[in-house]
Structures are given as C-alpha cells and as structure tokens.
Structure 1
C-alpha cells in the first residue's frame, strides 16, 4: 500500500522526470529542425561527427585541386593558342620561301619576299615570348614541364610536358636568323620549314592530349566532391519530415506531462481531509 506523505510526492517526481525527458527530446528535435542537422556537434554522435569533419576537410581540399587544375588548363590553352599561331606563321614563311625559289623572279620581288619572310620569322619569337599565363610559359623553353594537383592530400599530380617551339630548337629546326637572298637559298629552306611545320603539329597534339587529360580529371574531381558531400549529408543531415512528425508528438506529450504533473501535485491535498 503506497504511503501518503507531504514530504515526498513520488507521483510528482515521476511525472517531473518524464516531463523533463520530453522537454529534452523536444529541444533536440527543435535543434535538428532549426539547423537541418541530426549531428550538429560531437555531443550528438561523436563517431559520425568525426567522419563528417574528415570528409568536409577532403571536400575543402578538393577545391584547391580544382583551382590547380584550372590554372594548368589556362597555361595549356595559352600554349596551344601560341603553338597554333606559330604553325600558321611557319606556313606563311613556307609560302614566301616557295615564291622566292622561283628562278624567274626578279631581284626586287625576291627582296620584298625576303623582308616579309624575316618579319614573319621575328613574329614567331614575339608570339612565343608572350605566351605566358600566371608567369608560366610552356612553349618558349623556359619550362620543361608543369604539374597540377590530382588529389586531396597532394600525393598525386598530373604532369604536363612543355613544348619548346623556339627557333633553332629540336622542334622548329629553322634557325632564328634564317633568311634567303637567292632562289636556291630559298628553296633550301623548304625542307626545313616542312619538317618544322610537322613537328609543331605533333607538339600541338601532345598539348591537346594533356589539356584533355586535365579537363577529364577536373570533371572527375567535381563528381568526387559531389559524392563526398552527399555522403556527409547521409551521415549528419536530419530527415525534416520525420522530425516534423516527432515535433508534433512531443508537443502533445509535453502538454500531457504538464497535466500529469499538475494532478500529481494536487494529490497531497487529499491528506487534509483526514484531519477534518
């Protein structure tokens, strides 16, 4: 038989414990709804929070990878544009040399062609000198290669080989002071120009392949970043539909708990009737 006591109201204590539990659960649900997170701190779920933080760091690091790949793309694009320009200039030089190789040409006409040839030749050097992006030039011989970050911890890189298109080099064998004064000397340059044009085309193909590789990896990094972000969401995001249903239930339970506590607090007043 329960003891009637004015000092200890067991019913009120139990009702208060249940109400406090309901209020705590209600606060948790309200926090999840407000933040959209079921794991907003290490206190909510230490293991899930630690994993999420680690993956957030990876996502942030991948931003740096994407920036590095973007810079590499820009460098290669500038180099390719310069290479295409050089190829066009070499073609023009071949046209001038071929025209000058005509033995029926008079000296005045050949001199005019020579001046044009020399001007185009010098333009190649100017083109290569100005083919820089962010201080990096892949076609003037100043860089043999560049690298771009490939993963979040920097342990892997993409390497892009430079293509030295300078006059008198291994790709463009035409000398930097190449010129002609006679039909025979003009004809002698044609083979060198053909070889140089073909070599520049091969170099452009290599730059194009490198550019495609960088673009493909940048696309992969973007997809990887999205996948990791989705995984983080699966760990820490709250199901708002579920939390909304919980909120309604806990609010109702809170009201009932307040009523139960009120009834329990009134129970001790029945003891007074024993002394009337």
Structure 2
C-alpha cells in the first residue's frame, strides 16, 4: 500500500542510515583516537582496569626516578668509600715506614697530616642531593638509618605497598661528630672498650672479692655495648667449693671473638650490644668450658635489677657448694683504640705498632662498608631493570585492553562510508515514491 502520509520505505531507509551513521561515528572516533575503549561507556570493566593500570604505570615511573636518585647517592658514597680505602692504605704504608730505624718521623707525620686532611675532604665531599652517608652528627649511630625506594606493588585487595631498601648508616659513617665512626675512637654511646665487657668483668671481680653462696645470684649493671676483635681474649678460672674442706677441679673459661661468633653469628662482627647478647655469649663461654646451666647460669636482670647482668651457681652437680672464687682474671689484646685523625707519630713515644693495628681494623671495617654499598648498588641495578620491564608489560597490557586495531578500523571505516552512501541513495529512492504517485493525478 502506498500512502502520502506515511512512507514506510523512507522510514526504514532512514533507520538504516541512522544506524550506519552511528557505527561510522564510533569507527571514526577509534581511528582518530587510536582507542577501542576510550570512555567508561564503551566498556566499563575494561576501562576501569586500564585506568588503574595507567595509574600504576605512572607510580612505577616515579619509583624508577627514585631508584635512579638512590643509585646516584649510593654511587657517590661508594666512590668516596673506595677513595678512603686508598688513603688508608697509604697511611698504613707510611706507618710501616716509620718503623725503620733512623727514619725522620716528623717528616712522615707531615705526609700523614696531608692524608688525614684528604680523608676529611673525601668524607665532606661525599654528598649527593643533600645526603652524605659517610658523615654524621648523631649521639647514637645505632639509630642512624635511611631508606631507598625500590618498588611499588598493588595487592589483590586493591591496596598498594611501597617497597624500600633499608640502609644502616651506622655501618657507613666514617666520621661522626659525636665519635664512633669507622675511622674514630668509640664514643660513650657506641661500642665501649673490650676490657669492660659491658660490666661482665665487674661481675667477675665482685665474685672474686666476695664469693657467692650456693644458689645465690650476684647482679652488676650492664654498662654499654662492646666489640670483641680478633686477638681479644678474656679468661678466668672458677674453683667451686663443695663444702667440708674439699674443692672441685678448677675450670678455665675463655671469652674471645670465636665465642661471640658462635653465640651471635659472624654477621655480628664481634659486637655485643645488649644484655641478652652478653648473656648468650657468656653462657656459650661457660658451655665451651664444660659447665652446664645447672653448674652456672648468667641472667638478665628484671624488676629492681633491670638493666643488670647476674651470675648464679645453683645447687646442682656441685652438690653442697658453699662458695665460688674467680682466679687469674686476665685480658689479652684490647689495644687502646684511636681515631685516624688523632694519629701522630712525630713524638718518640708514639705507639706506631698500635697505630698499624688500628689502621688495619679500619681497613677491615671500611672494606665491609664498601661491600655493603656494592651489594646495594647491585640490587638497585636489578630493581631498575625489573621496573623498566614491568612498565613495558603494563603498557602492553593496557594496549591489549583498550587500543583499537587500526587495520580493522580502517577497513570498517571504508565499508561504513560505502554503506552510508548506499543508505543515502536508498533514502532518496524511497522519498521519490511520493513524487511518482503524483503522476496518477495528472
């Protein structure tokens, strides 16, 4: 049926053309933007995932920049540490030369003065972006630390974590304003001299002067942390009395670097810094001497004896033990420590041998510090490469989700343009039907 009021063919052609135009507009948008999914209306799920991934990629970009900054800081510290090792080697050479008979120590000291100034210059110059890991003014280097950003992670629950590498600056500081640096004498708040043994020697002395009754406990305050170096040794002899005039055989107890390594591990580097560690080291020394905890026990004080160490001889294998005496207390090693800046061999009484020993210890400590920095350098390099790969993976993942296939889009655009032309032709034909009907009235 043909009608002047309603042209069904034109309506159908117009609807088809409208659909074609909509698809053509969408395809043209894909071709111009390069995105298959450009807004949440296109695909809410994929758009949301891609948006989150873009945000994570930007965060990883910031992490990459932070890693580069951290790497530069480590590189500067390592370079200065390496230069310091060279200067220390030269100072040791000068000290060895000073041992030659008839040598002019005054002239050698002038060379050492220049080397000491060079060390100070190296330490002061080891700064990057306002950070200097080789110098400090900290009362307690044990709390001196920093971090280097190393990673960014999004968890399954949507929360994010920022990873970082902890750097213990107490192991990198060469010169500290309060003392205790790797090239200085120990400060009062750092590692005290081994001869004190954190108050343990005072505890032994108190037993020697005033024997302990069986089952009793003697407490003495823990003074401070201390370092047991190679060659240091604390020895003492115990002679328990069983009562009735009889005595047990003497037992010799020795505490040295191997004892500390056995109790705390080699990673402690001979440092005993807490009461708990001192208890472990002393108990290990007693055990090595063949004594069990039923013979003798060292305790960490509690209650009124907090921050104290205690020694107890229970009523065990010693049976009716009445007294315990400490005999032949001796300390070996423990050369007096001196800072690199304080060494002066110009006087005839200068202890050059001790200076050489101290410089050797400094070389060992600085070498360990440089090794620590080197390991951080290696980790940051690996993390930087991984972060770059991760950013590339995110970029590819985002593209897979939302990028348009330009080959497909261009072909579809050509097809839709052709369909649009055909639709417009069909609409023109449908509209001409009314004109044809007018011929019937002529």
Partner residue in 1 for 2:126: 131
Q: Distance in 2 between matches of 1:48 and 1:121?
A: 64
2:115 is the counterpart of 1:115 = no
Q: Distance in 1 between matches of 2:372 and 2:101?
A: 39
Q: Which moves more between the two structures, 48-57 or 232-241?
A: 48-57
C-alpha contact 1:80 1:204 (8 A) present in aligned 2? yes
> TM-score scaled by structure 1?
0.92
Displacement after TM superposition at 1:270 (Å): 3.2
Q: Distance in 1 between matches of 2:354 and 2:406?
A: 79
| Higher RCO (C-alpha 8 Å, min separation 6) | 1
> TM-score scaled by structure 2?
0.58
C-alpha contact 1:138 1:145 (8 A) present in aligned 2? no
Displacement after TM superposition at 1:203 (Å): 0.8
Displacement after TM superposition at 1:187 (Å): 2.9
C-alpha contact 1:101 1:185 (8 A) present in aligned 2? no
**Equivalent residues in 2 for 1:80-99 (5 A)?**
80-99=78-97
Partner residue in 2 for 1:179: 344
Q: Distance in 1 between matches of 2:100 and 2:366?
A: 26
Q: Which moves more between the two structures, 81-90 or 150-159?
A: 150-159
2:358 is the counterpart of 1:192 = yes
* 1:170-196 alpha-carbon deviations (Å, 9 max, x no partner): 533541311112386223311111121
2:165 is the counterpart of 1:164 = no
Q: Distance in 1 between matches of 2:27 and 2:421?
A: 16
2:15 is the counterpart of 1:4 = no
Provide the secondary structure at the position in 1 that maps to 2:100: coil
Displacement after TM superposition at 1:66 (Å): 1.0
Bigger helix fraction: 1
Displacement after TM superposition at 1:44 (Å): 1.9
Provide the secondary structure at the position in 2 that maps to 1:151: strand
Q: Cα gap change, 1:40/1:4 in structure 2, threshold over 3 Å: closer, same or farther? A: same
* 1:134-154 alpha-carbon deviations (Å, 9 max, x no partner): 111111135833212221545
Runs of 4+ off more than 6 Å: none
Displacement after TM superposition at 1:47 (Å): 1.8
Aligned-pair Cα RMSD in Å: 1.9
2:154 is the counterpart of 1:145 = no
Bigger strand fraction: 2
1:57 to 46, 55, 58: 55
Q: Distance in 1 between matches of 2:90 and 2:145?
A: 29
Partner residue in 1 for 2:260: none
Q: Which runs of 5+ in 2 are unaligned?
A: 154-159, 185-337
